[in-house]
Amino acid sequence: MRIMKKHCLHPLVLLAALLAMTATAAAAHAQDFSRPEELVIKSEAVFKSFMVDPTMDWFRANVGNAQGILIVPQMLRGGFFVGGSGGSGVLLAQDEETGAWSSPAFYTMGSVSFGLQIGADVSEIILMIMTPRGMQAMLSTGFKLGGDIALAAGPVGATAKAQLVDILAYGRSRGVYGGISVEGAVIAPRYEWNSTYYGKDVMLADILINQAVANPQADNLRAAMPKKVQQTRPLGR
């Protein structure tokens, strides 16, 4: 019995190890950009490509009602038996009263999965933050998609209907939308990139909620964000 106990890991230890692996995968894959300015430029290009895609009618009509938009222009996935995915992204938040979009805050997004998986691919991810609870999670030190933060795939097509959730996820791989799961992915701020981009230590709330800092390099990305199209948010809580 003593030997068995010695080699039996407590569930909390296993959970901590899994989260550590997730963070490691995200950090490894987050090296997709060397500077925050590059990530902002690429995020702008990806967002604009989503907006002009003829199949993205629902996204185009409703993205202005989102409380926040997280753009991950390169979500990298690969592995052998134990797979990992990760990438860097920018989050912009919309002011509830004025409709003005904030400057970007920088994040990582990553996950670890198990099973037979060989090879690698690249996906583009956009998350629409639809509720105050979703935005509050984005202001934390890190959280996992799913569970307390309700997540669903974003609808595609003019007649599509969205679920009442905190976050809607859109993914595109090889030019095709859908088939990309981000359930269980861990999202965490990149504090050092926020400091680098704004030239000083800055809190997430000062970037996203108070809109107390700005960088002119992100003006084009902010200008690409549509304003809300109606007074009440159809997916708000």
Residue 108: per-residue pLDDT: 93
Among 59-68, 169-178, 216-225, where is mean pLDDT lowest? 169-178
Tokens 């002009």, residue located: 52
* Total residues found in the chain within this entry: 237
Confidence of residue 48 (pLDDT cuts 50, 70, 90): very high
DSSP readout, 99-158? -PBPPPEEEEEEEEEEEEEEEEEEEEEEEEE-SHHHHHHHTSS-EESBTTB-EEEPP-ST
> Per residue in 182-213, pLDDT tens?
888 899 999 999 999 999 999 999 999 999 99
Predicted confidence (pLDDT) at residue 178 exceeds the cutoff of 80 = no
Predicted confidence (pLDDT) at residue 94 exceeds the cutoff of 90 = yes
Name the pTM for this structure.
0.78
Residue 11: per-residue pLDDT: 47
